[in-house]
Structure 1
Amino acid sequence: MFVEGLHEKNIFSGEIPFRLEDNTQVDFTYPVHWHPAVELLYVEKNTLNINVNNSEIALDEGDILFIANGDTHGFSNKNNHGRRFFIQFETSAFNALGSNTVIKPLISNTIRISRQELPFYNDLKVHILSIIDSYNKKAFGYQLFLSARLYDILAITSNYVMDRVKPQNRTDTVKKIQGLDKLSEAFKFIETNYMNDISLADVARAVGFSEFYFSRIFKDITEKNFSRYLNEYRIKQAEHYLTNSSMSVADIAYTVGFNSIVTFNRSFKAVKGCSPSTYKKIGI
């Protein structure tokens, strides 16, 4: 699992698109990022601060937070002796039963659920604790049990969410979902073509959006303009060549898509804080 640009990748390492983390770090910080997976955060002990879409949320003990796929979020907590559980899963697992058209609007808004919101809160907490217990024990067939509990969570949450989503916001939700789907295609295009002379117009054309609209959703979700994201992605690839090959700095610059050494040196130093030559020499 790593963050590239703002995109968190390789979340799932097991046999199913599901991840659970039991986190008790005292100084818990994690950079702002986004991912296509849905995330459930349950604060079992103490409090937790989280930044979602540039807004700070202070979660109390017992709070549950649905983090919508595509929403940027990060953590910066010091001296926090707490415990929190993170559950991440892909909604693609629910496509087979044709329910994804219902699920997508449901999980496209980040929602905080507190202990005061009864009886809904208690029902939700029971299923979350059941998922944690089943995942830790990993008895035979636990994968089916996890899927069933996730269905339960989504089902009991549906009325709660839809009652609170204003009709005018539902159109925005649909647009956001479409934007995320297209943005995933855009990242794949960049990963395949970053070494070439590509522009915002090229990527927008590849995913079927106008340049203006694509530029707007790209910046809304990644919080970076296209040029900055592309440069940072190229720098990330350059790091690999600098530490794992005998290529010259000039060759690396052209290999990862920069058309001049000057631009490469300037961009690399802005991102990494040192020149490519220094980075290569000390093997950071």
Structure 2
Amino acid sequence: MEAHHQKIYNNNAEPFPIYIFNTDVQEFPPHWHERIEIIYVLGEELKIGQNNATYTLHNRDIFIVGMGEVHYFIMQPQKCDRIILIFEPALFEELSNLLTGIKILDPHIPYINNTNNEFSVHSFFEKQILGIYREKKEKQSGYDLFVGARLYDIAAGIVRYIPNEKLGSAQLNKQMKKLEILEQVTKYIDENYKEEISLADVAKSANFSMYHFTRFFKDTTGMTLGQYINNYKVSKAVNMLINTSDSISEISFNSGFNSIKTFNRVFKQVKGCSPSEFKKAIFE
């Protein structure tokens, strides 16, 4: 489970880059990007972490992730379908001016049953999200113009209806510095996860005292360093369980665990089942 700066590339001939996923992925590691990400819940329940806060979303709820916000999906027993819409404000100069430096203070827009068909913030955003999803799916003549218009509506809606604050240059620089340090730390873990990694080692790599690093890491990722490293090692193990024919003991060693007993215990804590049960379920 690696916190990383997610770089998204446009490999198609779209008139502008906007990415829509309909997925039921159960977990996704901490990451951030210079784009707006909007999540619309199709299933029953979805848990999202952002920085040091956790949110529980339900059917038709909406969650808006601002640029540079560290966020992640939290593992839970049941799968949950969702639509994820990602777009770059720099698509249009006006959108960039509106949204660059905006910090969203309340990213969760819960669904409220509106029997009177009165205006609500939720219905406003739901209409735009589903409209974009439909236009991108059907791709009728002029769909790109419809999508562009709805992106403007979303940008205006964020500014008008969602509690936010405009960050000054000093605050923006502080945010960028925080993300640079986090990227440096996660790179260190990625390069050394097969060894014993101590809090002192990681704090030193970021030029922090252990006390200040502990606070920084928890505030930024929502988890302790130990939780993060365990999740990261388990994510490596999961990849090997799915894509290799290696034995459990080989996978345990190659994912950075010093014993099969520890590997089984940590894997079950993170995934809710043993490595052998997980592998069996994949191929059933």
Same fold judged by TM-score > 0.5? yes
Partner of 1:264: 259
Deviates more, 1:142-151 or 1:191-200: 142-151
Partner SS state of residue 64, structure 2: strand
Cα shift at 1:268: 0.3
Cα shift at 1:11: 8.6
Distance 2:212 2:161 in 1: 32
Q: How many residues align?
A: 258
Q: Which has the higher contact order (CA 8 A, sep 6+)?
A: 2
Partner of 1:65: 63
Partner SS state of residue 32, structure 2: coil
Provide TM-score, normalisation by structure 1. 0.60
The 3 A distance-change label for structure 1 pair 125 and 167 is: closer
Deviates more, 1:222-231 or 1:93-102: 93-102
The 3 A distance-change label for structure 1 pair 140 and 77 is: farther
Distance 1:253 1:77 in 2: 23
* 1:119-130 correspondence to structure 2 within 5 Å: 124-130=125-131
The 3 A distance-change label for structure 1 pair 103 and 151 is: farther
Partner SS state of residue 99, structure 1: helix
Distance 1:281 1:112 in 2: 37
Provide TM-score, normalisation by structure 2. 0.60
Partner of 2:54: 54
Distance 1:246 1:264 in 2: 16
Distance 2:26 2:279 in 1: 28
- The code of the aligned residue for 1:266 comes to K
Note the alpha carbon deviations across 1:164-198, whole angstroms, 9 max, x for none.
34799xx9998667544543443333223323454
Structure 1: gaps (5+ residues): none
Q: Is the 8 A contact 2:99 2:155 kept in 1?
A: no
The 3 A distance-change label for structure 1 pair 205 and 150 is: farther
- The code of the aligned residue for 2:86 comes to F
Distance 1:96 1:175 in 2: 26
Q: Is the 8 A contact 1:108 1:173 kept in 2?
A: no
Distance 1:185 1:17 in 2: 28
Distance 2:103 2:177 in 1: 14
Structure 2: gaps (5+ residues): none
Partner SS state of residue 194, structure 2: coil
Partner of 2:96: 99
Partner of 1:138: 139
Q: Is the 8 A contact 1:8 1:33 kept in 2?
A: no
Distance 1:34 1:281 in 2: 24
The 3 A distance-change label for structure 1 pair 74 and 240 is: closer
| CA RMSD between the two structures | 5.2
* 1:17-32 correspondence to structure 2 within 5 Å: 18-21=19-22, 30-31=26-27
Note the alpha carbon deviations across 1:214-254, whole angstroms, 9 max, x for none.
322322454432133223423443455577366894x7666
Percent identity between the two aligned chains: 26
The 3 A distance-change label for structure 1 pair 12 and 221 is: farther
* 1:1-284 correspondence to structure 2 within 5 Å: 4=1, 15=12, 16=17, 18-21=19-22, 30-31=26-27, 34-36=30-32, 38-42=36-40, 48-52=44-48, 53-57=53-57, 64-68=62-66, 69-74=69-74, 86-89=83-86, 91=88, 94=90, 97=93, 99=96, 102-107=99-104, 109-112=106-109, 118=119, 124-138=125-139, 146=147, 149-161=150-162, 164-165=163-164, 179-180=178-179, 182-207=181-206, 209-238=208-237, 244=244, 249=249, 255-258=254-257, 263-273=258-268
Cα shift at 1:270: 0.9
